[in-house]
Structure 1
Amino acid sequence: MTLKIKQKIPLKIKKIGINGEGVGNFKGTTVFVPGALKGEDVYAEIVTSERNYATAKVLKLNKKSSHRVVPMCDIYKQCGGCQIMHLAYPQQLLFKQDVLRQALQKFKPEGYETYEVRKTIGMKKPEHYRAKLQFQTRFLGEKVRAGLFAENSHKLVEIKNCLVQDETTQAIINEVTELLTFHRIPIYNERKFDGIRTVMVRRANHTGEVQLIFISSTQVELTRTIDSLTEKFPEIKTIALNINRKKSSEIYGDETEILWGERAILEGVLDYTFELSPRAFYQLNPEQTNVLYREAVKAMDASADDDLIDAYSGTGTIGRAFVGKVKSIRGMDVIAESIEDAKVNVPDGIYEVGTAETVVPKWVAEGFRATALIVDPPRTGLDNKLLDTIIATQPEKMVYVSCNVSTLARDLVKLASVYDVKYIQSVDMFPHTARTEAVVKLVRK
């Protein structure tokens, strides 16, 4: 049946879906209920209704889950950045193991019923773990404010004390908003004004060094702001300006200029250090990145005879883990600054600017054949052209590091035709959110 908007229904929640929402069934229609937990009985009101499903909001909890907790964040509901903070942390880890199984069940790669999905590796202290923030800025109530947009909107939710954000980066962004207000720096407005639209702050866990990027739709004068920031926060080593004139949701433009300080900061993982330039990608959770990379190295089980491709290499941080373990290392990334970092971080490697789906087939055409392949793609997963190249060349060993269970399961449909999936290891990189990271060990059949 088709449910009507504002219709009120009783609902038993059968599971938690891949986006962290409760899932129930009312007279044959699947209903998604954000904030509801498995095992709960709720009284809900329909918010949207489609032919095969509906979404609803909780009006009353008739039966609460024993795993429900009170979120420690004051703006938990308004922000929407943490979807499952109302679920006790041990149960979050079980959910993230289950969400992998849900994705496999949906896409059904060959042999998925027997895949070993290992228990999620969690954190002892799952708070203040995010070492990087990207907050939108807007001028509201005579003051510059920074935070995130509420879900499915451009309404800014100001964030001044985030439970999952590194405390130093939070303190710096709070000071940034005060200084932008005081110095009357132009702030972006979708309809009228050019100016600063986003601020990125990143702190290296290994050294404590900090870098900032002001992302603006136009040139802005930041000298006095920079002087005040660097005086108050001596850990700041780099301040850059990125110009993004596009009227889109893309955060960065193509032009980045170092306004003050060093080209890069120094970060460390496992037993090595590496450089990070402002726009270079690195994992948001440094503590769990050690776990993730350790699991990736273990899953690869590389030998001294291996020629390794580190696809989507970023700054070469994963590839660096295999230095001394393999014969050769190659990688690529679309961001030129990341490749500059990779050439410093892995001096004996071969790194090129470009997409994996372009560069890898080019190398194959030139006669290079990898025996080992590690992929760490964005949430969109592997491009079809790259998948076809992998299927055609079939490196003996492959490790897939994924941040999106759905695109992972989708890609395994093709990969499982030539690879055995030995196991999937879930790693909790993002506590209190519905996202998990996964390391997949694949061996050629």
Structure 2
Amino acid sequence: MTLKIKQKIPLKIKKIGINGEGVGNFKGTTVFVTGALKGEDVYAEITSLAPNFATAKVLKLNKKSPHRVVPMCEIYKQCGGCQIMHLAYPQQLLFKQDLLRQALKKFRPEGFETYEVRKTIGMKNPEHYRAKLQFQTRFLGEKVRAGLFAENSHRLVEIKNCLAQDETTQAIITEITELLTFHRIPIYNERKFDGIRTVMVRRAHQTGQVQIIFISSERVELTRTIASLTEKFPEIKTVALNINRKNTSEIYSNTSETEILWGERAILEGVLDYTFELSPRAFYQLNPEQTNTLYTEAVKAMDARLDDDLIDAYSGTGTIGRAFLGKVRSIRGMDVIPESIDDARVNVPGGIYEVGTAESLIPQWVADGFKATALIVDPPRTGLDDKLLDTIVATKPAKMVYVSCNVSTLARDLVKLAQVYDVKYIQSVDMFPHTARTEAVVKLVRK
């Protein structure tokens, strides 16, 4: 590699990469350029070097893409939460379809060239779609501020009007910062390591009910703060506290239960034609509107029968499993978060839900005489555990639906799954407008 740090180069951008950056080639070296778009000619400065690639920033746009737009957010560049807001929304949907193709080409599961990758299903109004926020708190300039860390740093970017965030949750977090300042509540500091470090606010799309978790490195007195907050926002139904004393990037402590300080154990949310309970720590999709689309596609892909026995792996609160109630003979599921399983047992009447991992429970169920004919998985961004993949290949349920939030780990997992399943199609769903992420529903049928 002949490139050097701070070297200035002309570059033609050939595509948009999986993190939303422009990708070009300079004398045989791949260069990733933040903020550049496919089809643009840029004059760029090299910012870092690696053995097989370089990164750069745009100094000048010599030729602009016709699909470039001015980002609506005033802190777009500082925040980094949205990577492609400078790309017109219809083109974002095409890019997310291409994301899947890029990942498949990289990992090359059997027959990937002929997979049907369907057009991304987008939103009519792709703003204010996030129903849950997790903002860091810091005491800066004599005031508590909340927001996100700038990319690759612990420098807080205060967020007062996020265009991706539900407007009610944004208003509540803004009020929380005012109350924490007024009541002099201890705020986490990386040197002193004490006080509130993160606040989670979630609003149910269907009912409007709100729950809050304060994550703190020590127990704090929040009685007056909660009283003022709930008086101003009567839609708040739950306020909880999670103590996390670890000096790590993990948001929650998994060693202590989340304590309800005020209100109900859970809020009510709805999707498709049913409602369900959500406790504060339980996982649920960030974009409730598109969750209806996602679950509709998952049900369609499964093509369930009344004699099917379904496993709902990575079940969370059982929201996907609930969609199959009355469509299959039996439902079993699992999750590692006990509170989620408590919710699932309420949300899926007649279902069997247990705390544990899929890779440990499924073999146990098989040994006990239960064998699934249908399997749905909705794993975290890390994808399926290797042991679970081996278990799936060994037990071979007749049909499977893979719901993925990470195109790379999906394509990686399909390498093994394609040994025993035909990939009928992949349906992309835009759960995260203006970001370089997409959700996908994959229909698999045993060979």
Query: TM-score band (shorter)?
Result: over 0.9
Q: Which runs of 4+ in 1 moved over 6 A?
A: none
Deviation at 1:367, TM superposition (A): 2.1
**Counterpart code for 1:396:** A
The answer on whether the counterparts of 2:160 and 2:170 sit within 8 Å (CA) in structure 1 is yes
Deviation at 1:359, TM superposition (A): 1.6
**Counterpart code for 2:317:** T
Q: Which residue of the partner structure matches residue 129 of structure 2?
A: 129
| SS of the residue 1:12 aligns to | strand
The answer on whether the counterparts of 1:14 and 1:38 sit within 8 Å (CA) in structure 2 is yes
Task: Pick from 397, 420, 430 the counterpart of residue 422 of structure 2.
Answer: 420
Gaps of 5+ in 2: none
> Which deviates more from structure 2 when the two are superposed, residues 192-201 or residues 428-437?
192-201
**Counterpart code for 1:307:** D
Task: Pick from 320, 323, 334 the counterpart of residue 321 of structure 1.
Answer: 323
User: Is 1:305 aligned to residue 307 of structure 2?
Assistant: yes
User: Is 1:383 aligned to residue 391 of structure 2?
Assistant: no
Task: Pick from 263, 270, 274 the counterpart of residue 268 of structure 1.
Answer: 270
Task: Pick from 415, 428, 431 the counterpart of residue 429 of structure 1.
Answer: 431
Q: Which residue of the partner structure matches residue 120 of structure 1?
A: 120
The answer on whether the counterparts of 2:314 and 2:358 sit within 8 Å (CA) in structure 1 is yes
Q: Which residue of the partner structure matches residue 334 of structure 1?
A: 336
The answer on whether the counterparts of 2:84 and 2:435 sit within 8 Å (CA) in structure 1 is yes
> Which deviates more from structure 2 when the two are superposed, residues 357-366 or residues 191-200?
357-366
Deviation at 1:106, TM superposition (A): 0.0
The answer on whether the counterparts of 1:14 and 1:39 sit within 8 Å (CA) in structure 2 is yes
TM-score normalised by structure 2 residue count: 0.99
TM-score normalised by structure 1 residue count: 0.99
Q: Which residue of the partner structure matches residue 243 of structure 1?
A: 243
**Counterpart code for 1:436:** T
Give distance in 2, aligned partners of 1:150 and 1:138.
13
How many residues were matched structurally?
445
**Counterpart code for 1:271:** D
Gaps of 5+ in 1: none
| SS of the residue 1:247 aligns to | coil
Matches of residues 213-252 of structure 1 in structure 2 within 5 Å? 213-252=213-252
Q: Which residue of the partner structure matches residue 88 of structure 2?
A: 88
C-alpha distance after superposition, 1:399-429 (max 9, x if no partner)? 0000000000000000000000000000000
Give distance in 1, aligned partners of 2:219 and 2:361.
34
C-alpha distance after superposition, 1:338-384 (max 9, x if no partner)? 00000000120000011222222221222211000000000000001
User: Is 1:40 aligned to residue 40 of structure 2?
Assistant: yes
Percent of paired sites with the same residue: 89
Give distance in 1, aligned partners of 2:306 and 2:366.
21
Q: Which residue of the partner structure matches residue 186 of structure 1?
A: 186
**Counterpart code for 2:162:** C
Give distance in 1, aligned partners of 2:350 and 2:14.
53
The answer on whether the counterparts of 1:2 and 1:49 sit within 8 Å (CA) in structure 2 is no
The answer on whether the counterparts of 2:185 and 2:220 sit within 8 Å (CA) in structure 1 is yes
Deviation at 1:263, TM superposition (A): 0.3
| SS of the residue 1:255 aligns to | coil
Give distance in 2, aligned partners of 1:365 and 1:58.
59
C-alpha distance after superposition, 1:149-168 (max 9, x if no partner)? 00000000000000010000
Q: What is the RMSD of the two structures over their aligned residues, measured on CA atoms?
A: 0.6
| SS of the residue 2:77 aligns to | helix
**Counterpart code for 1:36:** A
Matches of residues 335-350 of structure 1 in structure 2 within 5 Å? 335-350=337-352
Deviation at 1:51, TM superposition (A): 1.9
